Structure 1
Amino acid sequence: MTVHLTTERLVLRRFTDADVDHLVELDADPEVMRYLTGGRATPRADVVGQLLPLYFDHYERYGDLGWWAAEERAGGAFLGWFEFRPTDPADRGEVELGYRLRRAAWGRGYATEGARALIRAGFEELGVRRVVAYTMAVNTGSRRVMEKAGLSYVRTFQEEYPDPIPGSELGEVEYALAAADRKPADRKPAGREPADRKP
């Protein structure tokens, strides 16, 4: 297992081919996919043929920026994933933050904990200048995580979707945090675990 970083309760590691069932199960929950596909599951063929190859490609291209499987540090249960990848393939300075966790992990602070750790590592170790995140305007749970992680609302905008889902008419929102705008308390929070990266 190649560990990207750890927090008080989480291990974020690289995905492997052994994670197919984890990803299929995660995306099979209609509530998990509510604000992404309207509740439709991701087919196994897409996980195998599209998602995992995309994750592996980012490891090859960027090393420490990409998608990370999230596990409970105590017990090793698969919780979901975090995304922390460049928005522009030619520039590592701006990265997009994302997260998708199993419903059983909701409401326990895992999304905020993982997001804060990635943001901290991005600014302090990886040379990231700005972190952005997007979600549907109606997705209040995800918006709360963004705010707790230190990001601020930037704008609401409309996307054109071939197959709109409920709530999409209210638009998407962008949140962001620049390195220069971090609060002092976010720089060295209590309980920070050192990153444990392996080549």
Structure 2
Amino acid sequence: MAAPILTTDRMLLVPLADRHLGLEIELDSDPEVLRFLFGRPRPADEVRRAHAERMELGRRVDGLGYWVAFGVDGGARGSRAPAAEEDGEFLGLMMLPPAHGPDQPDDPTVGELGYRFRRQVWRRGLATEASRRLLAHAFDTVGQSRVLAQTMAVNAGSRAVMAALGMRHTRTFYPSFEDPLPGADQGEVEYEMTAVEWRARNRPGDESR
């Protein structure tokens, strides 16, 4: 099962393809978007290598991978998902590959959630909305046992998304960096959700979520 097209109320999530490379280069040209990842914009050659790595990771586990988010009116509240990619505008990149970090489990049933949106559409709840859809896909369709998410401890915005999704903080850790970013001394944090927790939060008829 290849990664499918997914939809939310405001977004069309299209599986990442080579035609999207220019959008990835555009996204990573903004240093604010990469503030808690690299602390600088990424040159095009670096993004091309990252794109190739994403495409390879997306083939490891059926149904997992990367998605490009498209919307209308900048994904404004009350807007609707476009019917097709060409009818929308680029909003950001959603990530749900198999866990693959050096300190993550080598287990095909464990995925890693990530998100990266254009600065112009921040603070509209898009990351939370798209992430919730990917969690549903991971647990209800792909059959993942667990989904992880990591960020810098000082990244309050990303941590708020993880908390809003119902993910639990499981650890703070301190990786070594040759050129640490500001705030790295406070460490990295990992959140997770299990399939059991997802189903408990999403019982039919439960309107509390």
Task: Tell me the alpha carbon deviations over residues 73-110 of structure 1, each in whole angstroms, 9 at most, x when there is no partner.
Answer: 23411111111111159632111101111111211111
What's 2:185 paired with? 169
Aligned partner of residue 132 in structure 2, secondary structure: helix
| Partner AA of 1:127 in structure 2 | G
Aligned partner of residue 19 in structure 2, secondary structure: helix
| Partner AA of 1:180 in structure 2 | V
**Closer/same/farther in 2, CA of residues 187 and 106 from structure 1, 3 Å limit:** farther
What's 1:68 paired with? 67
- 1:3 is displaced (CA, Å) by 4.8
Q: Is the 8 A contact 2:93 2:116 kept in 1?
A: yes
Aligned partner of residue 36 in structure 2, secondary structure: helix
What's 2:18 paired with? 17
Q: Aligned pair 1:78/2:90, yes or no?
A: yes
Q: Aligned pair 1:160/2:159, yes or no?
A: no
Aligned partner of residue 56 in structure 1, secondary structure: helix
Task: Tell me the alpha carbon deviations over residues 13-60 of structure 1, each in whole angstroms, 9 at most, x when there is no partner.
Answer: 12222222211111111211111112x111111222x12212222333
What is the alpha-carbon root mean square deviation over aligned residues?
2.0
| Partner AA of 1:162 in structure 2 | E
**Closer/same/farther in 2, CA of residues 120 and 8 from structure 1, 3 Å limit:** same
Normalised TM-score (structure 1): 0.86
Q: Is the 8 A contact 1:120 1:187 kept in 2?
A: no
Structure 1's unaligned 5+ residue stretches are: 191-199
**Closer/same/farther in 2, CA of residues 137 and 76 from structure 1, 3 Å limit:** same
Residue in structure 1 matching 2:121, options 80, 105, 110: 105
What's 1:36 paired with? 37
Aligned partner of residue 60 in structure 2, secondary structure: helix
Matched positions, count: 187
What's 1:142 paired with? 158
Higher relative contact order (CA 8 A, sep 6+): 1
Structure 2's unaligned 5+ residue stretches are: 72-80
Q: Aligned pair 1:126/2:142, yes or no?
A: yes
Normalised TM-score (structure 2): 0.82
- 1:125 is displaced (CA, Å) by 1.0
What's 1:26 paired with? 27
What's 2:76 paired with? none
What's 2:46 paired with? 46
Matches of 1:110 and 1:81, distance apart in 2:
11
Could you say which structure has the higher strand fraction?
1
Identity within the alignment, %: 41
Task: Tell me the alpha carbon deviations over residues 109-166 of structure 1, each in whole angstroms, 9 at most, x when there is no partner.
Answer: 1100111011111111111111110000000000000011120111111010111110
